[in-house]
Amino acid sequence: MNRLVSSQKAASATSLYTIPFWLLCLSNFLFSASFQMIIPELPDHLASMGGQQYVGLIIALFTLTAGVSRPFSGKLTDTIGRVPVMAFGSLVCFVCGFLYPFVLTVWGFLMLRLVHGFSTGTKPTATAAYVADVVPVDRRGEAMGALGLFTATGMSLGPAIGSWLADAFSINVLFCTSSAFALFSIVILLRMPETLHTREPFRFSLLKLKTNELFDKQAIRPFWILLLLSFSSGTILTLAPALSKSVGIMNKGLFFTVYTIASLAVRLVFSRTSDRLGRVPVLIVSSLVLAISMAMLVWTDSTTWLWIAAVFFGFSWGMNSPTIQAWTADLSDEATRGRAMATMYIALEAGIGLGALASGWLFNNLLWGMDAAFAVSGILALMATGWLIKYKS
């Protein structure tokens, strides 16, 4: 018996948007809102404990464990099943959100951020594999875009809701709300059917990885492109709150809301573009738009330019995120699809982590550090554009 629901069976499906698909979308909305809503408030929260110099580690530590856990989540996704791995990711968010109010030291906070990273190191890997299992091959770009609509909506509403909760009530109310969102995400997952037919029970020996289980060579091209592009996300996550305050915007989550709404608009209009025109042409355009947004942020000195840059940033990720996911699925084998998705997400976490570390260091050590961080992000996006153009030719 084939270990997976075959792509041939998926291709014959009469409807892309099934009940399991919608449940997955709703779970992703709650999950993404859960971990994203606390992001804008964490720099000030850490500074209030005397950890201003460690602001760059807020994102870097989170992405470190997310990246380290990817090979494990990929293997577990291909052995114990998609749904258990997704549920574990949401469970980590639930526990960490509950614990933040009780952590009162800088090092305790940083260690909790380290643990929190296991959430995004596991759930997105299994989610991407689940979607690839249940949708037709020639509609993967559309499916990833539709799923991304819910994910992006959670990431859009989360920061704004989080900042409002912190201002109107307290940061502890924010943390508890984050935990509650993750709990509801788990409840939804429990009603989803498993797509991995031949499953193994979990045992600790599965956590022993062979050399060929660390990295999927079939995903090497999406890996390098996403590594270059995601550096900018680490920069944005670290510096957008400070940049917003510098131009007079007090709600530090609004930048995230604007760029995510722009991302949603692109997904709605161009969800099937990569299915029709190809993955690489779409990625060329999205990478160039990302470089333009970074250039705008270098010169931003008003709210108008900040919002325009946020829109361009959202446009770029609205195009490249579902396209890279679909491209990775195209290149992968069914039996190792979880590993391929994990490899792609390793690049995402590594890029975000490096961007967060570099931008945090530049911001704290150079007068012009913020501009330099955005400039480096733009240069890396241009490098990705050039590589894609060369590959296409």
| Residues 103-122: tens digit of each pLDDT | 999 999 999 999 999 998 89
Q: Is the pLDDT of residue 255 over 70?
A: yes
pLDDT in tens, 9-47: 433 344 667 788 888 899 999 999 999 999 889 988 999
Contact 191, 23 (CB under 8 A): yes
Which whole number is the average pLDDT over 221-228?
95
User: Could you tell me the two tokens for 379?
Assistant: 């240069």
**Length of the chain in terms of residues written:** 393
Q: What is the largest CA-CA distance in the chain?
A: 62
pLDDT of residue 109: 95
Name, in order, each residue with C-beta under 8 angstroms of 115's C-beta and a sequence gap of 6 or more. 65, 92, 96
CA distances from 269 to 132, 218, 265, 319, 352 (A): 21, 30, 6, 10, 27
Q: Among residues 123, 109, 96, 131, which one has the least CA distance to residue 32? A: 123
Which whole number is the average pLDDT over 213-235?
90
- Domains present along the chain, CATH in parentheses: 15-196+213-392 (1.20.1250.20)
Q: Is the pLDDT of residue 326 over 60?
A: yes
Name, in order, each residue with C-beta under 8 angstroms of 261's C-beta and a sequence gap of 6 or more. 156, 314
pLDDT of residue 7: 40
**Dihedral sign computed on CA atoms, order 34, 39, 40, 42:** positive
Contact 36, 89 (CB under 8 A): no
Which whole number is the average pLDDT over 50-76?
86
Q: Is the pLDDT of residue 252 over 70?
A: yes
Name, in order, each residue with C-beta under 8 angstroms of 181's C-beta and a sequence gap of 6 or more. 30, 31, 33, 34, 37, 93, 97
Interatomic CA distance for residues 308 and 361, integer angstroms: 26
Which range among 238-247, 260-269, 319-328 shows the weakest confidence by mean pLDDT? Answer: 260-269
pLDDT of residue 184: 95
Q: Is the pLDDT of residue 393 over 60?
A: no
Q: Which residue in the block uniquely carries the two structure tokens 């990720």?
A: 317
Which whole number is the average pLDDT over 72-100?
93
Contact 70, 345 (CB under 8 A): yes
pLDDT of residue 15: 64
Band of pLDDT at residue 340, cut at 50, 70 and 90: confident
- Give helix 220-246 / helix 254-270 axis angle, nearest 10°: 140
pLDDT of residue 156: 75
Which whole number is the average pLDDT over 209-216?
78
Name, in order, each residue with C-beta under 8 angstroms of 214's C-beta and a sequence gap of 6 or more. 71
The Cα angle at residue 52 between residues 173 and 37, in degrees rounded to 5: 30
Burial 109-145 (b: 16+ CB within 10 A, else e): bbebbbebbbbbbbbbbbbbbbbbbbbbeebbbbbbb
Interatomic CA distance for residues 45 and 56, integer angstroms: 13
Which range among 232-236, 277-281, 337-341, 379-383 shows the weakest confidence by mean pLDDT? Answer: 337-341
Band of pLDDT at residue 2, cut at 50, 70 and 90: very low
Band of pLDDT at residue 278, cut at 50, 70 and 90: confident
pLDDT of residue 374: 94
Q: Which residue in the block uniquely carries the two structure tokens 């792509």?
A: 7
Band of pLDDT at residue 280, cut at 50, 70 and 90: very high
Higher local confidence (pLDDT), 130 or 137: 130
Which whole number is the average pLDDT over 378-393?
90
Q: Is the pLDDT of residue 6 over 50?
A: no
Interatomic CA distance for residues 391 and 393, integer angstroms: 5
pLDDT of residue 117: 92
pLDDT of residue 37: 93
